């Protein structure tokens, strides 16, 4: 049975060389799904009447922009930190492995977007102001739990993605992965405050 990056990242990254194009597709879908969560609330924060075409373009463009930003930032941080830790390996391999290691982010965004749409369709949309979205506490808590679990999962995958791409010991790779996911985990937890 072939290994999967979600549950057997050590075997997956050891057996395969993930491509940049497949990593790009994962991150593009991740970005699109994340941006789609705002669609039910557009009329609350924009005086402009959006057509379907404008909404589709906005979701696609926003998803692309978010994907590129996350990918470039994550790849740069991992590449620099792993170089400081004595790692070696091509930037292209780091970028491809990072894209695959962020696969749980696609699942997290799908869960959060689905819950956001369900809230908008069944329970009425959340109140949106120019600075924040007022979600019910159960939704904030749910998103925090999904966020913490998802980012810890990403840290697990990143450990083996970094190990494979930069030829580092597992403990060094885990330390770098922990530093990379620390800010999003803390951000998920502080949303409960």
Are 113 and 32 within 8 A, CB to CB? no
Tell me the whole-structure pTM to 2 decimals.
Answer: 0.89
* pLDDT at res. 4: 84
Considering Cα of 12, then 17, then 19, then 20, what sign does the dihedral take? positive
- Estimate to the nearest angstrom the gap between the alpha carbon of 35 and the chain centroid: 12
Q: Could you say which residues of the chain have pLDDT below 70?
A: 1-2, 45, 124-133
> 152-173, pLDDT tens digit by residue?
999 999 999 999 999 999 999 9
Among 164, 54, 56, 55, smallest CA distance to 101 is for 164
Among 90, 57, 46, 95, smallest CA distance to 73 is for 95
* pLDDT at res. 94: 97
Cα angle 60-64-67, degrees, rounded to a multiple of 5: 135
* pLDDT at res. 164: 96
Helix segments in the chain, DSSP class H:
9-15, 20-36, 42-45, 52-84, 91-101, 103-122, 137-166, 170-190
CA distance 40 to 36: 8
């Amino acid at each position: 049975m072939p290994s999967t990056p979600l549950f057997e990242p050590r075997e997956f990254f050891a057996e395969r060389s993930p491509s940049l194009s497949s990593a790009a597709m994962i991150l593009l879908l991740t970005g699109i799904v994340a941006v789609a969560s705002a669609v039910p609330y557009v009329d609350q924060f924009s005086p402009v009447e959006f057509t379907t075409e404008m909404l589709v373009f906005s979701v696609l463009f926003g998803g692309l922009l978010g994907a590129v930003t996350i990918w470039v930032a994550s790849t740069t941080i991992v590449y620099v930190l792993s170089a400081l830790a004595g790692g070696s390996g091509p930037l292209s391999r780091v970028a491809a492995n990072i894209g695959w290691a962020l696969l749980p982010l696609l699942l997290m965004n799908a869960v959060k977007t689905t819950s956001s749409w369900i809230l908008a369709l069944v329970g009425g949309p959340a109140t949106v102001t120019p600075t924040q979205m007022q979600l019910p506490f159960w939704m904030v808590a749910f998103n925090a739990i999904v966020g913490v679990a998802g980012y810890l999962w990403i840290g697990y995958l990143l450990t083996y993605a970094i190990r494979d791409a930069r030829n580092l010991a597992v403990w060094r790779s885990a330390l770098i992965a922990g530093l990379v996911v620390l800010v999003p985990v803390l951000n998920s937890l502080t949303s409960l405050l």
